[in-house]
Chains A and B, each alone.
Chain A
Amino acid sequence: MRTTVENVADADGVTVLALEGELDASNYQDLIAQVRDLVVRGTRRLVLDLRDLSYMASSGLVALHSAALLLRGIEPPDPEAGWGAFHSLGLDVSSGAPDPNVRLVAPQPAVDRVLDRTGLKGFFPVHPDRAAAIASL
């Protein structure tokens, strides 16, 4: 998977991250690390452009959710860590309402199906293009 970062000039703290290729168990940790890095550099709201993402495995859902936590200033436990992570309870603050900080842009049908099937579309609002996603933040 390749990613491209673009900061939105006239919207403070908004970053567009374009994903290209496949998001799966082999690279979802990289995406989490990249979002962590963006947050350190000042990103507060994130538009994930999925136009060129051809596939997303269930691990990708973990990456999206971890990204939402990071943008709320919460460090998610390492999903592959050992007993330590098992004992770190109660970190999720998802309220069931759409996430205020993350927007998705134009998922391909295969990715859209996964988001739809797993109910994450209700959590991460989906927009047809970048401009609409940025405007909604």
Chain B
Amino acid sequence: MSVTLARLLDRGRANALLEAFAPLAPRGWLALVDPDGTPVAATREPPAPPAGGVDVHLPDGVLTGRVVGGEGVPPAVLAALARAVEAVLAEIHDRRMVSLEALERYRELALLYRLAGTIGSAVDPAGIVDELLAEAVRALRSEVALVVPAEEGSVPRAGTGPTDAQERVRASVSARLGAILAGSGGTTVETPDGWSLLVTPISVGERPSAALVLGRPPGSPRFASPDQRLGVALAEHASVALERSRLQAHDAERRRLEQEVSLGRRIQRSLLPQRPPDIAGWSFATHYEAATQVGGDFYDFFRLRDRPTSFGLVIADVTGKGIGAALLMAFARPLFRAIADQYPGPAAALTQANRVLVLERPTPLFITAFMGIVDSATGLLRYASAGHEPPLVVPAGRGRVRRLPGSGPLLGAFPVVSLAEHVVQLHPGDLLLLHTDGAIDARDPLRRRFGDVRLARAAGSARGRDAAELVASVAGAVARFAAGEPAADDLALVAVRRDPVTDDTPV
């Protein structure tokens, strides 16, 4: 189909041009004709079908007509008129192109604006996908619209249009989905049965997660590049909305976890004894520092039922972090107390605690625990350790700082454990330090570990002092060593002193 002058140039413009040139050809006529000679406009009726003349081309070089003139019209006048017509056509062409483009831009903007309202207002992925399909069908005049996830669950699967048509389109796309998603931008596909498809990737978080597939049935206009552009715009909008929805869900999950963490921390703090027990001849001090994550360190002191001169000591560490650790600790602490009351010694008590933890253990976490029963009158400490860091004894006299030997399996891993009971004599003035691995695992800025040796040295420097000084010495040494490095683990310290005998000590 040729683009003729008659269609491009309205009669008024054509006559105005001819009139402008007529004075240059006073003795002849001038006419504008289509390529086949049909007159478009003339100063007067040409006497015969005009021949010759000067061709008029569109800006893209296509012949659109001729300028012809009667006898005596100088060729230069015809040429000038032809150039003038071409200039006018170029101007019309430009203006039309500009306005078409502007109109398209406007339509696109209006569509995107509407999309921002509709797709953007949907917060859940299913709603976003539904809005996307509705808009795509409307904007791209499709009979079928599908969202086909790259992998199940990444983006909701959805579709609109007649069911059998949906199935047909889905079947013809699914085989080449991978290749389409690997490319960039949209692809048009002509299926063997005559459907025109427009397939556009939808990316969520950097990678293509699904395809927007639009289908027009046989006999309807094929998808072309402007449709492709619009498809990409639609898909991009949906991508942004889906990504935002994902982040919001993630954010909500994070806030929920934060709340749980703060709850866990409150549980944990509320379970630690607020005040050491008041037992004649003994003094206590504690130190507790929580790491950034909730851990499961805890300690406890308690009097024993039916054994008025004895008291119980527990320090324990739930392996792992987070709310699960705090909850397991909340479960374990009263368990240890109750069992210590009922069983004759710490080994039997921890063995029983293990049985309960294995049978009723709520998480895959374990507990390392040290339990001691102290006869406050004699200073005899009976203890058992289930995989816990060995406590230290700092003797009042000249002896070395020593680690309490003996350790058995941690609690909660094996249905049957065998734990040995050990006995150590605490003399007046002796200090006992119970600790969790937050001390020896503390790191300095060079990532070195505090370790056993520094711990023993820090404890030893409190020799002959009281329980509070022992705790302060160790906590201070750990803090100086870490030099501001964030703690990876909770740090719990418990110091127990058998007070030195003084003149006013009751006998």
Interface residues of A (CB under 8 A from B): 24-26, 28, 55, 57-59, 61-62, 65-66, 69, 76-83, 85-92, 94-96, 116-120, 122-123
Residues from chain B with a CB closer than 8 A to the CB of A88 are: 362-363
Task: Please report whether the interface of chain A is mostly helix, strand, loop or mixed according to DSSP.
Answer: loop
Total of A-B residue pairs, C-beta within 8 Å: 124
Rounded to whole angstroms, the CA-CA distance of A82 and B253 in the bound complex is: 11
Rounded to whole angstroms, the CA-CA distance of A56 and B413 in the bound complex is: 17
Given known contacts A80-B321, A80-B324, A118 and B363 CB-to-CB distance under 8 angstroms? no
Residues from chain B with a CB closer than 8 A to the CB of A90 are: 359, 361
Pick from B363, B408, B413: contact of A85, CB under 8 Å: B363
Closest to B388 in A: A117
Residues from chain B with a CB closer than 8 A to the CB of A94 are: 358, 413-415
| Cβ A62 vs Cβ B366 within 8 A | yes
Pick from A24, A76, A117, A119: contact of B414, CB under 8 Å: A119
| Cβ B364 vs Cβ A117 within 8 A | no
| Cβ A83 vs Cβ B323 within 8 A | yes
Residues from chain B with a CB closer than 8 A to the CB of A24 are: 441, 488
Rounded to whole angstroms, the CA-CA distance of A85 and B363 in the bound complex is: 6
Closest to B293 in A: A25
Closest to B416 in A: A96
The tally of residues in B whose CB lies under 8 Å from a CB in A reads 41
| Cβ A85 vs Cβ B362 within 8 A | yes
Residues from chain A with a CB closer than 8 A to the CB of B37 are: none
Residues from chain B with a CB closer than 8 A to the CB of A78 are: 324
Residues from chain A with a CB closer than 8 A to the CB of B325 are: 79-80
| Cβ A80 vs Cβ B489 within 8 A | no
| Cβ A91 vs Cβ B324 within 8 A | no
Residues from chain A with a CB closer than 8 A to the CB of B414 are: 94, 96, 119, 122-123
| Cβ A118 vs Cβ B366 within 8 A | yes
| Cβ A118 vs Cβ B410 within 8 A | yes
| Cβ A87 vs Cβ B323 within 8 A | no
Rounded to whole angstroms, the CA-CA distance of A59 and B320 in the bound complex is: 5
Known: A58-B368, A81-B323. 11 other contacts (CB 8 A): A24-B441, A58-B437, A59-B320, A62-B320, A62-B364, A79-B324, A80-B321, A92-B361, A94-B413, A95-B415, A120-B410
| Cβ B322 vs Cβ A79 within 8 A | yes
Residues from chain A with a CB closer than 8 A to the CB of B358 are: 92, 94
Pick from A65, A89, A118: contact of B387, CB under 8 Å: A118
| Cβ A89 vs Cβ B361 within 8 A | yes
Residues from chain B with a CB closer than 8 A to the CB of A66 are: 364
| Cβ B362 vs Cβ A80 within 8 A | no
A81 to B: closest C-beta gap in Å: 6
Residues from chain A with a CB closer than 8 A to the CB of B388 are: 117
Residues from chain A with a CB closer than 8 A to the CB of B416 are: 96
B90 at the interface (CB under 8 A from A): no
B409 at the interface (CB under 8 A from A): yes
| Cβ A91 vs Cβ B489 within 8 A | no
A124 to B: closest C-beta gap in Å: 11
Closest to A60 in B: B319
Between A and B, 22 residue pairs with Cβ closer than 8 Å are A26-B488, A57-B437, A57-B441, A58-B320, A58-B366, A61-B410, A62-B364, A62-B366, A77-B364, A79-B320, A79-B365, A80-B320, A80-B321, A81-B323, A81-B324, A82-B257, A86-B328, A86-B363, A87-B362, A92-B361, A117-B388, A120-B413
Closest to A119 in B: B409
Given known contacts A120-B413, A123-B414, A86 and B362 CB-to-CB distance under 8 angstroms? yes
Pick from A26, A69, A80, A116: contact of B323, CB under 8 Å: A80
B407 at the interface (CB under 8 A from A): yes
